[in-house]
Amino acid sequence: MIIDKDSTGTILMAWLICGILILVVRHFVRNSWISVSIIVALVVFMCFITWFFRVPERETPPGDGLVTSACDGKVVIVEKVYEPEYMKEECIQISVYMDFFDVHANFWPASGEVSYYKYHPGKYLLAFLPKSSELNEHSSTGITVPSGDRLFFKQIAGTFARRIVCYSEPGLETVRGEQCGVIKFGSRIDIFLPLDAEVKVKVGDKVRAVESVIAVLSGKRDGGQDLPQ
């Protein structure tokens, strides 16, 4: 199992705190049943924290114009919206919510070049709420693909996610399926696509980072499709 390189400090801190608590329990708790129960719970938590920051090895599906999910989770939004920050036009928004047990490493949804990046400080509302996209702490990345199409995605912090790691910088070449960062604990990713993209998912679908195709870009600048307003 590969562990996210930007999360080793968090893991070590959790192990240190749990280790100290185990020593305290062993020294001060005289009831053996209670002592063993607490120690087992702490060890399970240590193992969970390590497992939580895993980076899975997955195969990217072949094909041109594919947009794959940037994270594991559940699709909570598929709709037509106006995106004012980067696209500055009507787009298709696809949002994926990561719960506490999903892989929280994030991956490039398409191959191309980073043409925009901005970090936004903010609040820590529940990530599945619609307003979290604008009000919560988030990182914004715009990618221009070889066909000339653009896509835009946001890594959005949740109530318990207090750090977003994003590898984006303008001019960086992206490779679909390679890691682009990590969001620590429950969070969400919004992806904005051209209106003529062919959407492959619907609200309620479970998707897997790298493997699940969420849309196919047409390479055109016109057209569109009917989606919920």
Could you give the C-alpha distances from 158 to 2, 6, 188, in angstroms and in order?
A: 24, 18, 7
Task: Look at residue 56 in the predicted model and tell me its pLDDT.
Answer: 83
Rounded to whole angstroms, the Cα distance separating 120 from 140 reads: 8
**The token pair that represents 212 in the structure block:** 């699940």
How far from the centroid of its chain's Cα atoms is residue 90's Cα?
A: 23
pLDDT at 125 (0 to 100): 55
- Over the chain (229 residues), what is each successive 10-residue block's mean pLDDT? 78 91 90 92 90 85 93 94 95 91 90 94 57 71 94 82 81 95 82 96 96 89 43
Give the residues across from 74 on adjacent strands: 97, 206
Q: Report the DSSP pairing between strands 66-68 and 73-83.
A: unpaired
Cβ neighbours around 106 below 10 Å, total: 29
Identify the active-site residue in 133, 139, 168, 187.
187
What are the DSSP calls for the chain, one per residue? -EE-GGGHHHHHHHHHHHHHHHHHHHHH---HHHHHHHHHHHHHHHHHHHHHTEE---PPPP-TTEEE-SSSEEEEEEEEEEETTTT-EEEEEEEEEE-TTS--EEE-SSSEEEEEEEEE--B---TTSTTHHHHB-EEEEEEE-TTS-EEEEEEEE-SS---EEE---TT-EE-TTSEEEEE-SSEEEEEEE-TTSEE---TT-EE-TTT-EEEE--S-SS-------
Angle at 42 between CA 39 and CA 47, to 5 degrees: 125
Give Cα 179 distance to the centre of its chain: 10
Please give the pLDDT value at position 227. Answer: 46
Query: Please, are residues 122 and 136 in contact by the beta-carbon 8 Å criterion?
Result: yes
Q: Where are the domains of the chain?
A: 2-55, 66-216
- Active-site annotation holds for 187: yes
**Whether the Cβ atoms of residue 95 and residue 188 lie closer than 8 Å to each other:** yes
- 196 neighbors 222 (Cβ within 8 angstroms): yes
Per-residue confidence (pLDDT) for residue 5, from 0 to 100? 79
Taking the C-alpha atoms of residue 189 and residue 156, their distance in angstroms, rounded to an integer, is 6
* 66-216 homologous superfamily: Glucose Permease (Domain IIA) (2.70.70.10)
pLDDT for res 10 = 80
The pLDDT of residue 222 is 42
What confidence score (pLDDT) does residue 118 get? Answer: 94
